[in-house]
Amino acid sequence: MAELEVAKSTKKIIESAKNKEITFWHKVKEMALEIAVIIFAVSLSIAFHSWSETRHEQHEVESFLKGVRIDLAKDRAEMSTDIKAYRNQKKAFRYLGSLTKGQLASNDSLQHYAPYFYNFTGYGGNTGRYEGFKSSGKIGFIENDALQNSILDLYEEKIPRLSISTDFYKMQKLKFADYITDHTTDYPNGNLTKVMASDPIKTRSQIYLSAVNQIISNYEACIAQMEEIIKNIDSEYPPKK
């Protein structure tokens, strides 16, 4: 439509310029009018295009945020389960750290806590949607600055901090397992109860307790941030009942 108006007005301007039957000032008046029409048509076209583009961008934002809400709900549930596992690991290492000098570890206790001595728990979150939206340069489309910053803080700060802490802990637990393997003889009826009550194991257990406390704190910070993001998304796009 705008192109048609511009073409028509341009044609009129040329015709007015060539018309010898009208005065110079009349030509100027008609040409100025047509130039105004051209400016208006172009401005209207630009405004409509900008509105259409913004509308498309916000549709993409809506789709992204609704998807992130689903991802975060799943991640929050996974993290809550992970926290329970780490609390059990705290109990396991607290038991080892509490053994007094000369006291052997209990076989029953070792069997009870065995899964928490050697197993690993780590966050395997749903970050694909966020990474795809970020890599396409669309994060800036989120007009709610507080929500945008909260999402960036979660995915760029809190989750990486959690991953670093769990990776470090995993590395330390591998050393823990290696120490037990290297110093245990005639498993499972040999000196395992003595090895698990040894000073190096008790020292490591105290260190792991601190590490686990930090990991749980990181998990809780992530969950709190997720809940805040979900709350903000709900306020903009209320979930269907």
In terms of Cβ atoms closer than 10 Å to its own Cβ (0-12, 13-18, 19+), residue 212 is buried
pLDDT (0 to 100) of residue 76? 95
pLDDT by 10s per residue, the chain, length 241: 555 555 565 555 555 555 555 665 565 666 666 666 666 656 665 665 565 565 667 788 899 999 999 999 999 999 999 999 999 999 999 999 999 888 999 999 999 998 888 888 888 888 889 999 999 888 988 989 999 999 999 999 999 999 999 999 999 999 998 999 899 998 767 899 999 999 999 999 999 999 999 999 999 999 999 999 999 999 988 887 6
Spell out the residues 6+ positions from residue 217 whose beta carbon is closer than 8 angstroms to its own: none
At 140 the pLDDT is 87
Tokens of 235: 């306020």
Burial class (CB in 10 A: 0-12, 13-18, 19+), 216: middle
pLDDT at 43: 66
- Output the pLDDT for position 4: 56
From the list 117, 98, 110, 119, the residue with the least C-alpha distance to 188 is 110
pLDDT of residue 194: 92
Question: How much is the pLDDT for 126?
Answer: 85
- Say if residues 216 and 180 touch (Cβ distance below 8 Å): no
- Amino acid 24: pLDDT: 57
State the pTM of this model: 0.77
What was the pLDDT predicted at 38? 63
Q: Are 165 and 217 in contact (CB under 8 A)?
A: no
What is the reported pLDDT for 190?
Answer: 83
